[in-house]
Amino acid sequence: MLESLGVKLLDWGISQAADLLFEQTQAQLKQRLNKDDLQTAIALGVKAAKAYELELLAKLDDKQQRQFKEAVFSDSDVQGELQRPFRDEGKPRIEYLIAGFRKVAGATGKPLGENALKPWLEAFADAYFERTSALRFDLAKQDYCRQLINYYDELQFLGIDDVDPNEDSKAIESIFVMPDAVAERPPNQEGMNFLGRQAYFDWHETYSFEEEAADLGRQKALIQEQKRINESAEKQWSGAKVSASNLLNQQGKSKRVLLGAPGSGKTTLMSYFTVKLAKEALREDGETPVAGGWGLSAGTLPILIRIRDLATKSDLTVLEYAAQFAKTTLGCQPLPGGFFERWLQEGKALILLDGLDEVAEDGKRQDIANKIDNFLRQEQFAQNPAIITSRPAGYYRSFFNTTDYPHYLLQPFDDGQIKKFISNWYDQRESSQVEADGCKESLRKALDEQERIKALARNPLLLTVIALIHRWRAELPRDRHELYDRAVNTLIRTWDKKREITSHEVLQYLKLDDLRPGLWTNRVKEEQESGRGSKTLRSTTHVRSS
């Protein structure tokens, strides 16, 4: 490298200077630094100042020049200035470098060419600082990406009954199946508009299913009403169907809202994007780079923020929160000032904001939506793609308009995606391929024979529950009600642990929306067929009061 720059290690004592610089570097940075990088930084500075070298050293004979060159970068004052970029203190100060150079030249008995001294040092300092700053940011990026991988690259199985307590977490890529999403139809077309859909969700959260169940003659009407709502929703979301990865590579607007039911995989998808890009940044993936295929620049930096946590830090900007999270939660070494801004201003960041619905109060949810919108609209950051996720319930059109933020709805798994998940699942859990293939076939057959359970399996989280139960019980519960209860209880336990709130608060938050009415309706329908309608009323009332 140095030879290609036309600079010799011994000519300016670069090797010795780099050794001293390395030894004085902060311990945590030293673990990631390479001495060759320091040699290159000094050499680039020397090369940049080459035009002034003859005049600078004109009054020194060959021996004095050699003495000066070998000593100047090892001087303690000069070394102190060379350390500044690595302490996040900025560029070496020219006046201090001038003093150091004069001191070393004085030992030779001859002065330097004063007219060339300042220009030489300015050219050197600019090139050296540019190189060391890039080096420091690259090292910080490597550390940040490693910590992202450590934090997000595993799937844990919380709150699930009848599962081996030693069941280990798995790398997200080993199981992950990319879901699909559909675009919202443009406004003023046939189908229920978003406000109509919002009115449904508002009704959905206050409707008394127990009172409706009291009049068993109206159960059929309830089922038909839900069917009508679903059909209207299908019209509302009947735009183009795409792989969720294509949300990063769509023409036009680069910022999107992705809605999805509980357990539909929003958070896992955001984690997957983050891990894949972080691994690619470290060149640890070993596969075809994904950034280009996703329509992103090579080396794109993922910035994943859980909105519920951001909302608790109202005094911080979005990027201040991201830096605090990196330090206190991810365990990153201190990031250089302007770390996130560097990648954002270059258009080389992916902004992922997950879980707007998890901000429980409507007023706070609107405030945090405004904060996010203002951040994403900043001109210097506008060229970076962004995805905001939320459940439909509790999401309002006023948060993000579709002109600037196209809306998509995450889709349930189709048969092929279920099959792929089951294959990934057992390939990761059985040492014998014969056993793995047998388990795959057993679970697929069980789902094919029980359509209502297969309907549950189209939800990725519930499919995980089903797969865990199947793995440790070698079969699925024969009583579908038992599986429904396990599924709902799993969601409650998982959300309880993640949000650090009580089960009662979880149920208050859920308010029978999204999943529970569907499970309740299925149960009513099944028990109607078997003449056990009163059992549902008692069971549902118990759930609401727990």
pLDDT in tens, 197-255: 443 444 344 334 344 444 444 445 544 544 554 555 566 666 778 999 999 975 556 89
Give the three-class secondary structure for 189.
coil
pLDDT band at 295 (very low <50, low <70, confident <90, very high): confident
Sheet holding 180-183, edge to edge: 241-243, 180-183, 407-410, 255-259, 386-390, 349-354, 301-306
User: In the CATH hierarchy, which fold is given to the domain comprising 253-410?
Assistant: Rossmann fold (3.40.50)
23 CB-near residues (< 8 Å, 6+ apart): none
Residue 177, Cβ density class (10 Å: 0-12 exposed, 13-18 middle, ≥19 buried): buried
Output 114 or 2, whichever has higher pLDDT.
114
* CA separation, residue 248 to residues 6, 238, 256, 292, 440 (Å): 43, 20, 9, 10, 32
* Side chain identity at residue 308, one-letter code: R
Q: What span, in angstroms and rounded, lies between the C-alpha atoms of 214 and 80?
A: 81
* CA separation, residue 442 to residues 201, 307, 420, 426 (Å): 38, 40, 14, 11
Output 109 or 354, whichever has higher pLDDT.
354
E-assigned strand segments in 431-517: none
235 CB-near residues (< 8 Å, 6+ apart): 185, 190, 191, 192
45's tokens? 């500075």
**Range from 67-71, 251-255, 523-527 that averages highest in pLDDT:** 67-71
For strand 180-183 and strand 349-354, is the pairing parallel, antiparallel, or unpaired? unpaired
pLDDT at 531: 54
pLDDT at 188: 45
159-168 average pLDDT score: 50
For the chain, the C-alpha Rg in angstroms (whole number) is 31
| Maximum C-alpha span of the chain | 108
Residue 413 near residue 179 (C-beta atoms within 8 A) = yes
Q: What span, in angstroms and rounded, lies between the C-alpha atoms of 127 and 466?
A: 59
Any idea where the domains of the chain sit in the sequence? 2-152, 253-410
For tokens 């993640």, what's the residue? 498
Is residue 3 over pLDDT 90?
A: no
166-182 average pLDDT score: 81
pLDDT at 202: 40
Output 181 or 487, whichever has higher pLDDT.
181
For strand 407-410 and strand 180-183, is the pairing parallel, antiparallel, or unpaired? antiparallel
Output 200 or 489, whichever has higher pLDDT.
489
pLDDT band at 467 (very low <50, low <70, confident <90, very high): confident
Is residue 485 over pLDDT 80?
A: no
Lowest mean per-residue pLDDT among 21-35, 264-278, 365-379, 407-421:
21-35
Output 474 or 198, whichever has higher pLDDT.
474
pTM above 0.95, yes or no: no
pLDDT band at 511 (very low <50, low <70, confident <90, very high): very low
Query: What is the rounded average pLDDT for all residues in the chain?
Result: 78
Residue 52 near residue 119 (C-beta atoms within 8 A) = yes
Is residue 470 over pLDDT 90?
A: no
